[in-house]
Each structure stands twice: as C-alpha cells, then as structure tokens.
Amino acid sequence: MRFPARHRARIALSVFASALMAAALAGCGSGISLDEPIEGPVWRLVQLGDEPVASGGEAQIQFDRSSGRVSGTGGCNRVSGSFTRSGITLRIGQLASTRMACADPVRGANEAQFISALQTTATYRLAGPGRLALLDASGRTVATLNSASR
C-alpha cells in the first residue's frame, strides 16, 4: 500500500520527533549530567559565602575524574584529598595540607574558610558557563569558583 507523499512526510516527521523525544528522556533518567563537567578545569576561588575574594588570590582546586582526587591550593598551602560525585551530589573527603605559614593574615583567614567550605560541600551547581557554586547540606552557597579559562 502506497501513501501519498504528504502523508509519508508526516509519518517521517512523527517518527523523527518520537526518536528525538525518546533520546532526550533517556538522557534525563540516566543520571548523566548534560552540563559541563566539573572534572578537568582548574577552578579559581572568587567568592566565599556572600563575600567576594580579593583579586589576585591564588586559591584554586582541580578535580581529577580518573583518580577521584581533588588538589589545589588554599592560597598559602597545597591541599589534596579524595572526592566523589554522583549527579549534583559532591563529597570531598578529608583534605591533607602542607603547613606553610601565611605571611598575609587575610590570605590565611581566606584559606581556612575555603578549606572549611570544601569540607562542608554537599552539592554543587553550575551557575553559568565556567562558574561553579559549592553548596552545603542546607543549600547555602559556601564558595563560588570560576574556571581558569574564564
């Protein structure tokens, strides 16, 4: 049985739309984030809680998916530890740190607050391209970071 060309076009469009919808729904239920991954880029600290961090600060972290490790600097000392991520849940394990003294007391205070923010992180959200917000268990933003490429 042959259908008119107009009818075949409608059928093809319906099949295409159905396939597209199925692919979109499969992505939603798979647990795979379609957003940019947090692993890979170097994330520089730009805000602690609601307070901006002075420019020129060196606090930054990087998540390595293959090793499950996070590493970086609090501004004075190197830090490293483990992390796990599932969906938007992000847990950072106990961090190890070097013990160099911070000559600048403000930088030292920022480092202590940054390490505390990392340890209390429960979830994250991408707050725009190249912008990562770390949230505690109550949903409060404890730190905001920009990817180094921004």
Q: What's residue 17's pLDDT?
A: 45
Map tokens 């020129």 to a residue: 56
Close Cβ partners of 118 (under 8 Å, ≥ 6 residues apart): 61, 70, 79, 92, 95, 134, 143
Close Cβ partners of 59 (under 8 Å, ≥ 6 residues apart): 44, 45, 53, 72, 73, 74, 75, 110, 111, 114
Q: Which pLDDT tens digit goes with each residue over 35-87?
A: 568 999 999 999 999 999 977 668 999 999 999 999 999 999 999 999 999 99
Q: What's residue 129's pLDDT?
A: 87
Give the span between the Cα atoms of 85 and 69, in whole angstroms: 11
**Residue 80 is which amino acid?**
S
Query: What mean pLDDT, rounded, does the chain reach?
Result: 82
**For the whole model, what pTM was predicted?**
0.74
Give the span between the Cα atoms of 102 and 97, in whole angstroms: 13
User: Can you name the residues that pair with 63 across neighbouring β-strands?
Assistant: 39, 70
